[in-house]
Amino acid sequence: MRIAKALVCLLMLGAATGAQAQNYPDRPIRLVVSIAAGSVTDVIMRKAGPDLQQKLGQPLIIENRGGAAGILGAQTCAQAAPDGYTFCVIYHSTMSYNPLLFDKLPYAPEDLAPVTRLFFLTEGVFVSAATGINSIDELKAYAAAKPDGLNYATLGDGSFPDLFMRWLNNTWGSKIVGVPYKGGGPAAQALAANEVQVTRFGVGNFMGLIEAGKVKALAVAAEKRSPLLPKVPTLKEAGLGAYPGQGWWGLAAPKGTPAAMIDKINKAFVEVFKDPAFNEFLDKQSVVTATTAPAEFAAFLVEDRKAAESLIKLANSKRETYKPE
């Protein structure tokens, strides 16, 4: 009798879950973006919002949780209820670098369920126009001549920009100092104001400032020159081709989110990010669409963690205890 009752309960639970998934979503979805408002990724998510709402029948409420190399955003997402109404926009630091660089993280990569990779960033090395620096060679000479004269915008210790700075210091024997910001937008404004003199972020954060003559691009991190900056050399052409790694962004959900809900969100995002009109917009942000199925994204994360291990060794970066801001 007890077994029969248990089977009935399981069947009822399965039916309820199926009905719930079929009616999903029936209220707004919270989208945690692990970077400051105004940064390229935030701009992309807000642009995608209306198209996603049309496909899902519910709006996406964006919540920016920038800073600390994506840790704050990941923590917020990992602690959310796995009910299909919280998703988070994550990136390379969230899943690949932070676990290798920090002890006592307030989340683990396993707390987040992969939904889809979204895009790869085309990044660049930029300087404040006030420095008068016009090339990577001039930047290297400046760093040697003025050991305490260069501040560098990062997303916090262990972030991708921070690792690049550490790699430069390790390669050049320089002492460039990192200054943390909560996103590419704030970092770009700080560079334009000469609060910091150099950084590496996504190209899309800087185009307006380059056109205004406040920031100069020294190199782009891509196989080929960017159509947005055709006169700017690649890192390899500029003599920095030994630096590995590429920035990416993706979508995740709290562990335990039903697979049917993840699949529905995946389908909506993939359709939007593959749309030709939306891709024209992405081209202007200097990012490359790279959507995947959840399982494919999970496999990519395994390989990306291996690449992160190699990069951390090259940057001579030491493991530290995470201390909340």
pLDDT beneath 70, residues of the chain: 1-21, 325
Q: Within the chain, which residue ranges are assigned CATH 3.40.190.150? A: 28-121+246-321
Q: Within the chain, which residue ranges are assigned CATH 3.40.190.10? A: 123-221
Residue 101, burial from CB neighbour count under 10 angstroms (0-12, 13-18, 19+): buried
Q: Among residues 123, 126, 122, 124, which one has the least CA distance to residue 189?
A: 126
* CA distances to 47, 131, 165, 216, 231 from 134, in Å: 34, 9, 18, 7, 12
> CA–CA separation, 86 vs 300, rounded Å?
22
The residues that bridge with 320 in the sheet, in sequence order, are 102
Question: pTM for the whole thing?
Answer: 0.83
The residues that bridge with 197 in the sheet, in sequence order, are none
pLDDT at 20: 60
> CA–CA separation, 29 vs 225, rounded Å?
38
ω before 25 within 30° of 0 (cis)? yes
Token code pair at residue 99: 């676990």
Residue-wise over 25-47: b if at least 16 C-beta within 10 A, else e?
beeebbbbbbbbebbbbbbbbee
> CA–CA separation, 209 vs 222, rounded Å?
21
Beta carbons within 10 angstroms of residue 134's beta carbon:
12
> CA–CA separation, 187 vs 154, rounded Å?
7
pLDDT at 11: 47
The CATH number assigned to the domain with range 28-121+246-321 reads 3.40.190.150
In three-state secondary structure terms, 94 is helix
- Give the 3-state DSSP-derived string for 202-270, with helices as H, strands as E and coil as C: EHHHCHHHHHCCCEEEEEEECCCCCCCCCCCCECCCCCCCCCCCCCEEEEEEECCCCHHHHHHHHHHHH
pLDDT at 8: 46
CATH 3.30.360.10 is the classification of domain 123-221 = no
> CA–CA separation, 195 vs 316, rounded Å?
26
